[in-house]
């Protein structure tokens, strides 16, 4: 899903997990969909800290990257 700002520039990109079989989503060499959530957050946090005031253990916002990660609460173990 793409969203655009008033000037027609991309403002938001969402890449759903269902695309992981056809789309290789890498962030600075980290495989986003094939890395355990706990490990993914830790690895990205080493690059740019997530906002611990906005995290609920399922959503993580990395302001300096303009990146948000979200995972379903269903079948997920909460960590902060």
The domain ranges of the chain are 2-70
Report pLDDT digits (tens) over 6-61: 999 999 888 888 888 898 999 999 999 999 989 999 999 999 999 999 989 889 99
Would you say 67 and 44 are in contact if contact means Cβ atoms under 8 Å apart?
Answer: yes
Residue 18 per-residue DSSP state: G
More confident residue, 16 or 64: 64
Residue holding tokens 């609460």? 73
d(CA 33, CA 40): 9
E runs forming strands in 5-77 = 10-13, 26-27, 30-31, 59-62, 67-70
């Amino acid at each position: 899903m793409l969203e655009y700002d008033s000037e027609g520039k991309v403002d938001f990109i969402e890449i759903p997990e269902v695309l992981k079989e056809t789309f290789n989503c890498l962030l600075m060499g980290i495989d986003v969909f094939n890395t355990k959530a706990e490990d993914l957050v830790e690895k990205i946090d080493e690059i740019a800290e997530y906002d611990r005031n906005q995290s609920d253990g399922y959503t993580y916002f990395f302001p300096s990257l303009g990146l948000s990660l979200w995972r379903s609460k269903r079948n997920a173990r909460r960590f902060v």
